[in-house]
Amino acid sequence: MKKLVLFDLDNTLLAGDSDFEWAQFLIGKGVLDREVHEARNLEFYEHYKAGTLDIQAFLDFQLAPLARHPRLELDAWHAEFMSAHIRPLIGAAARALVQRHLDDGALTAIVTATNSFVTGPIAEEFGIANLIATVPAQQEGRFTGKARGTPAFKEGKIERVAGWLESIGKWWGSFEQSWFYSDSLNDLPLLARVSHPVAVDPDETLRAHAASRSWPIISLR
C-alpha cells in the first residue's frame, strides 16, 4: 500500500457542515434553546470560515449537549440526524471520488475537526474505515462535555495523522504519494504536508492559495 488519501469532511465530502447541522438538529428537536444556541452556533461557524475560530471555546460549546443525555438516546437521535440532515448532503461525485481511491487500494481516512460521535457514522456511510476526528471524552459510557487530546484542527490534524500512522506501524515516508482533499483555509497546514493537495469547492482564501501554487481545484457539488 503506497498511497495515502485523506479527506476533510465538512463542506468537502459533505455539501454542508455536520457540526453545524447537528446543533441545528438538536435545536429543531427542542433539545437546545433556539434563541440561545442558534446565534452562538452561527457565530462559531462564521469564525471557522474566517480562520479565526477558538477551537477550545467551540468544543466547550459543541460538546456540552452530549453530556446531558444518555448514550442510547444520543444514538437514536443520530440515526434520525443521518437520515434527515446528512445523507441529503452526500452527492454522487463525493461517493465516486472516495470509491475510486478505495478501489485503487489506497489507505484512506477522514480527518475532521468535528467530533467522532457526530462523524463516525458518516465515515461508515462513505465506506471509510479510518476516522481521525476530535475525540469527545467519556466516563463510564457517558460523554463528559470535554474533548480528549489534541483536536483535529489546523496543525493538530498533522499531529493526529502522524499519531495514527505511528499506531499502525507507518509514517509519512511509508507512502510514495499522499493526497488531502479540503475546502478550507484552516486546512492549509495539512494540505502543504501531502504530495497531492486538492482544493474542493474551496473558500476564497484557499482558492487563491491553490491557484498560486497550481494545486488542482475541483468541485463535488
What is the set of active-site residues? 8, 10
Distances (CA, A) of 116 to 13, 50, 111, 150, 207: 16, 23, 10, 13, 28
Query: The C-alpha cell of 12 is what?
Result: 468537502
Helix, strand, coil shares of the chain, percent, nearest 5, are 55, 20, 25
Taking the CA of residue 193 as centre, how many other CA atoms within 13 Å lie in the half-sphere pointing to its CB?
23
Q: Give the DSSP per-residue string, 127-148.
A: T---EEEEEEEEETTEEEEEEE
